[in-house]
Amino acid sequence: MKILYTVLFIVFRYVLATDEELQLWEKYKATYHKSYKTPAEENQRFKIFQNNLKQINRHNEKHQKGLASYEMGVNKFADLTVDEFLDKYRYKTYPTEIRIFNDTLPKANEIDSSEEDYLDWREKGAVTPVKNQGTCGSCWIFSAIGVLESYYFRKYNKLIPFSEQAIVDCIANNSCLGGWPPLVFNHVKQHGVVKEEEYRYEEKQGQCRQNQFQPIKIPFKSFVQIQDNEADLKQAVTRHGPALVCLYANYKWMFYKKGVWYEEECSYYANHAVVLVGYGRERGQDYWILKNTLGKDWGEDGYMKMARNKHYNYCGITATSYYVK
C-alpha cells in the first residue's frame, strides 16, 4: 500500500507540472547526464528543479525590467537546494581577520591616472582554461595555482596548466575541506609544481605522489597581500597580473548566467577563493572579471563579472587578496 501511495504521489506531482516544466526537466537531465536511483528520488529532484526554475524566472523578469543587473539560467545545479549546493561544494569561511603582509604594495595614489579602465588578462594569453574543483573544497588551491600559472606565463611566455591534485595530496590533511591560500604559495616555493597532464585531478585527497615527477620551479620572490581597497586591487592586477581574491560567494551565484552580478546584501566574510583576471565597465557599471572553479558550464563560460566600485569591500573582495612577484 505504501508503494502505491508513493507511485500515486509521483504521478500527481507530474500531473501538476506544466508542459514547459516537463520539457525543461527532460532537457536538463539529458544535457547534464542526470540519472536518479529511484522514481521517488527523481520526484524529489524534480520538485527542487521546479522551485529553482520559478526563482530563476522571477529574477529574470526583474532583469528584463531593468531591476536586476544580471541574468540567471538553469545549469547543472538546478536539482539542488541552496543548502545542498553550499554543503556539496564545501564553501568555507576564511578568517579574514588574519593579515599576512609578506610584502607591501605602493599606495593607490601612485597609480598612473592614464591607465585605462579595462583589462582582461585572458586576451594576453595569460590565463589557463577554466577548471572544475568538483565536490572537493579546493578552491583555495585552484585559485593559488591559477595565479602561479599566470605568473609563469608572464615570466617565461609559456602557459602551462599546473596540477592542483599534487597540492591537494601533499599540502596537508583534509585539504578538501578548505584551507588558507598562502599555504599553497609557501608549498610551491619549497617544492615546485607538477604539470596537470602528469598528475590529474581526482576531486579527493590521496597519497602524495609529487616526488614521482620532475618538479617545475617557479622563481617568485614572495606573495603580496594587497591593501584593503579597490584602487589598490585594480593597481595590483594591472601591474602584476591575475590576483587571488577571497570573497563571499552569495547563494545567488548558484544560477548566475551573464551580466554584472550585484546584490545589495552580500556578506564580508569570505567563503570562496577565485582568480581575478581583469576589470571593465558595462552599461554604466564597473565590474571585476572573476575566474571561478565550477567548470565552463557555469556563468559566462566559467567566469563572472562582479560589480566594482559600488561599496567598500563589496562581498569581502578586497579584504584578503594576493599576487606573487
pLDDT score of 307: 97
Catalytic-labelled residue, pool 139, 176, 266, 315: 139
246 has catalytic annotation: no
Contacts of 22 (CB under 8 A, 6+ apart): 14
Where does the pLDDT of residue 86 fall: very low under 50, low under 70, confident under 90, or very high at 90 and above?
Answer: confident
Q: Which residues pair with 281 in a beta bridge?
A: 286
Arithmetic mean of pLDDT, 214-233: 95
- CATH label, 84-157+222-324, candidates 3.20.20.70, 3.30.930.10, 3.40.50.150, 3.90.70.10: 3.90.70.10
What's the mean pLDDT in 115-139?
Answer: 94
Catalytic residue list contains 292:
yes
Q: Which of 228, 307, 265 has its CA nearest to residue 70?
A: 307
Catalytic residue among 59, 187, 240, 272: 272
- Rounded distance between C-alpha atoms, residue 15 and residue 274, angstroms: 43
Phi/psi of residue 8, nearest 5 degrees? -65, -40
Which pLDDT band holds residue 2 (cuts at 50, 70, 90)?
A: very low
If DSSP codes are grouped into helix, strand and coil, which group holds residue 294? strand
List, for residues 283-310, the tens digit of each pLDDT value. 999 999 999 999 999 999 999 999 999 9
**What would the grid cell of residue 135 be?**
565536490
pLDDT score of 80 more than 50:
yes
Confidence of residue 173 (pLDDT cuts 50, 70, 90): confident
Q: Grid coordinates representing 17? A: 507540472
- 33 as an active site residue: the answer is no
pLDDT at 104: 43
- What cell numbers appear for 142 in the block? 585552484
Query: pLDDT tens-digit profile of 35-66?
Result: 999 999 999 999 999 999 999 999 999 999 99
pLDDT at residue 99 greater than cutoff 80 = no
pLDDT at position 140: 96
**Residue 73 pLDDT exceeds 80:** yes
Domain segments of the chain as ranges: 2-68, 84-157+222-324
Give the containing element (helix H, strand E) for 195.
none
